[in-house]
């Protein structure tokens, strides 16, 4: 292949890399802006912070469910233990957990770059930039969650096996990679894709080593699980296994995968080229395939975008390998320069379709709120609204619709107004006697109040007959909670809303009978117990 042809494909990769670095910078800006924000930005954060705080105080996280306070710890504990080391110093704040999540997410981008570099050094960073460009990583970059650490461990396991076993045939790399898979599994128990891919790829080369690896993985995993069950009197099984066996809904599966296609269909030709490039080294394509199979569990009730993280990592890796290797793969193809340009143009189309920037809610002059770019980021908006590339893509949205979708899928930076609202709510709750029940659990730990009920988790357990809601019902009847903080009015019909997956009709009736509306702040409604409400008059 001539140097001219290499220059064309290299130039394409460089231009696309510059474009997608824009999104990486946006993700870092967004995640860093959340580090010192003292309130949760998602339902999932405070339970995880609460578990770390319990460990820091020497309390168990896998507890009985027959009396208040009710806790569910539905993930294996490595990330929580790690975070507890920092929470012990900072107190129950999101800072350390969010910082760890961001570092592990960026570390995963680095591992993807390392895997891509085997096939194309030019496109290595592009793999990382692809990774940081999705709504999946945008959301998970700023949340106190276990997932980013688990994905990082699995990707690192694939990297170690790829360089150590596939390239150098060092069997020690197999043992190290499987150990990393065990760490991933005890960070989040469903992280099995890397282990399966490693064992299958080794089996294709050496059945003996594969069986040894399987034995090591199974024995070590069972040993640590047995230790965990012993230390928790068997309660870990109740939290980790029983509590995670929610029903499967094909509607949810279709929703998430339709969204994935809508945003990232432009990657399909790049992925196909990438699969062709790695076809003779099965580790990567087997990992991608198993990641896809695991991602299907996103149809489980309560699942979210974190179930797509490994699939997205595989898509980014294969896409970067594909565009970075196009000159090599099609070296004898007469129109190879044109093909490189076409794939690059697909990336430009995709860049426009997934357009997003750091944004926040700002008040409108006539009341209400509107989405506005964070200062310094609005300059890129004309690239979406004024350049009609979408006419070339039958699956694309037009400019205005792209912007609307971006604020729907990419989480906002908290505004000063939102922070002030949360501060007002906490000021009110801190003066109320007794524990506080908050539907999304934003307000309890930071003011010394107990997280007493995780409504979604326990309602699902109750609905499936795995838990008797009597402790919850009794707490409402006796007005054990000083106040309720809800995202709906007790007079509303919540059918079809997120709240409908958190409360039964019986629970809502008990709330209605024993609590009275006190105040509304934004989407939050505060209800006081009848006893406290009467004393406030």
Q: How far is 444 from 440, CA to CA, in rounded Å?
A: 10
Tokens of 439: 């539907």
- Could you write out the three-class secondary structure of 322-380? HHHCHHHHCCCCCCHHHHHHHHHHHHHHHHHHCCCCCEEEEECCCCCEEEEECCCCHHH
Q: For the packed helices 207-231 and 193-203, what is the interaxial angle rounded to 10 degrees?
A: 150
Q: For the packed helices 124-131 and 95-117, what is the interaxial angle rounded to 10 degrees?
A: 140
Contacts of residue 455, Cβ cutoff 8 Å, sequence gap at least 6: 437, 439, 502, 503
Tokens of 50: 């609460």
Tokens of 477: 């009847």
Tokens of 265: 């269909």
Q: What is the pLDDT of residue 454?
A: 83
Contacts of residue 75, Cβ cutoff 8 Å, sequence gap at least 6: 146, 187, 188, 189, 240
CA-based Rg of the chain, rounded to a whole angstrom?
25
Q: What are 79-95's pLDDT values in tens digits?
A: 999 999 999 999 999 99
- Overall size of the chain counted in residues: 537
Residue pointed to by tokens 């570092």: 103
Q: What is the DSSP string of 264-298?
A: HGGGHHHHHHHHHHTTTSHHHHHHHHHHHHHHGGG
CB contact at 8 A, 211 and 199: no
CB contact at 8 A, 383 and 355: yes
SS3 content of the chain, % helix, strand, coil (to 5): 65, 5, 30
Q: How far is 181 from 191, CA to CA, in rounded Å?
A: 8
Count CA atoms within 13 Å of residue 200 on its CB side.
Answer: 16
Q: How far is 519 from 496, CA to CA, in rounded Å?
A: 25
CB contact at 8 A, 186 and 268: no
Q: Identify any residues that bridge with 451 across adjacent strands, giving them in sequence order.
A: 436
Closest by CA to 355, choosing from 383, 390, 395, is: 383
Cis geometry, peptide bond prior to residue 69 (ω within 30 degrees of 0): yes
Q: What is the pLDDT of residue 1?
A: 42
Tokens of 391: 């006419």
Q: Identify any residues that bridge with 303 across adjacent strands, giving them in sequence order.
A: none
Tokens of 302: 């309560």
219-228 LR contacts (CB < 8 Å, sep 24+):
220/178, 220/179, 220/182, 221/182, 221/185, 224/182, 224/186, 228/76, 228/77, 228/186
Q: What is the pLDDT of residue 2?
A: 46
CB contact at 8 A, 436 and 444: yes
Count CA atoms within 13 Å of residue 162 on its CB side.
Answer: 25
* Alpha-carbon dihedral sign for residues 172, 176, 181, 185: positive
Q: What is the pLDDT of residue 209?
A: 97
DSSP label at residue 392: G
Write out residues in the chain with pLDDT < 70, as ranges.
1-5, 331-334, 443, 451, 537
Give the β-pairing of 359-363 and 369-373.
Answer: antiparallel
Q: What is the pLDDT of residue 331?
A: 66
DSSP label at residue 239: H
pTM of the model: 0.94
Q: What is the pLDDT of residue 306?
A: 93
Tokens of 514: 């024993």
């Amino acid at each position: 292949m001539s140097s001219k042809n290499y220059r064309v494909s290299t130039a394409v990769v460089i231009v696309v890399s510059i474009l997608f670095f824009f999104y990486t910078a946006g993700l870092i800006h967004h995640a860093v802006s959340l580090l010192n924000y003292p309130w949760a930005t998602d339902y999932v954060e405070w339970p995880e912070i609460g578990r770390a705080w319990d460990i820091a105080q020497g309390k168990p996280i896998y507890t009985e469910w027959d009396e208040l306070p009710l806790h569910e710890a539905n993930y294996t504990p490595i990330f929580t233990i790690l975070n507890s080391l920092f929470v012990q110093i900072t107190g129950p704040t999101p800072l350390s957990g969010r910082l760890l999540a961001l570092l592990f997410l960026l570390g995963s981008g680095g591992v993807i770059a390392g895997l891509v570099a085997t096939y194309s050094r030019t496109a290595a960073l592009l793999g990382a930039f692809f990774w940081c460009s999705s709504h999946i990583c945008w959301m998970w970059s700023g949340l106190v969650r276990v997932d980013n650490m688990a994905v990082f461990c699995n990707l690192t396991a694939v990297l170690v096996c790829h360089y150590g076993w596939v390239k150098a045939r060092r069997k020690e790399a197999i043992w190290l990679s499987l150990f990393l898979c065990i760490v991933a599994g005890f960070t989040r128990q469903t992280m099995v894709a890397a282990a399966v891919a490693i064992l299958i790829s080794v089996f294709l080369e050496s059945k003996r080593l594969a069986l040894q690896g399987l034995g090591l993985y199974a024995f070590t995993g069972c040993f640590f699980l047995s230790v965990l069950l012993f230390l928790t009197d068997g309660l870990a099984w109740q939290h980790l296994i029983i509590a995670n066996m929610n029903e499967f809904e094909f509607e949810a599966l279709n929703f998430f995968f339709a969204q994935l296609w809508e945003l990232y269909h432009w990657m399909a030709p790049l992925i196909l080229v990438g699969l062709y490039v790695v076809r003779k080294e099965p580790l990567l394509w087997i990992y991608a395939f198993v990641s896809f199979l695991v991602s299907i569990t996103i149809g489980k009730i309560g699942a979210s975008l974190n179930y797509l993280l490994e699939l997205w990592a595989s898509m980014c890796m294969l896409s970067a390998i594909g565009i970075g290797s196009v000159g090599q793969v099609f070296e004898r193809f007469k129109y190879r320069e044109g093909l490189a340009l076409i794939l690059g143009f697909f990336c430009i189309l995709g860049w426009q379709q997934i357009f997003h920037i750091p944004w926040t809610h700002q008040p409108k002059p006539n009341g209400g709120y509107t989405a506005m770019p964070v200062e310094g980021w609005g300059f890129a908006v004309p690239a979406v609204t004024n350049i009609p590339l979408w006419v070339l893509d039958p699956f694309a949205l037009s400019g205005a619709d792209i912007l609307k979708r971006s604020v729907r899928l990419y989480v906002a930076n908290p505004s000063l107004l939102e922070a002030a609202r949360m501060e007002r709510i906490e000021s009110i709750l801190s003066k109320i006697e007794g524990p506080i029940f908050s539907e999304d659990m934003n307000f309890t730990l930071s003011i010394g109040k107990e997280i007493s009920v995780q409504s979604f988790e326990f309602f699902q357990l109750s609905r499936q007959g795995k838990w008797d809601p009597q402790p919850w019902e009794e707490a409402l009847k006796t007005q054990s909670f000083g106040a309720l903080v809800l995202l709906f009015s007790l007079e509303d019909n919540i059918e079809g809303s997120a709240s409908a997956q958190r409360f039964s009709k019986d629970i809502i009736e008990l709330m209605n009978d024993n609590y009275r509306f006190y105040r509304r702040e934004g989407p939050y409604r505060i209800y006081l117990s009848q006893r406290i409400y009467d004393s406030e008059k």
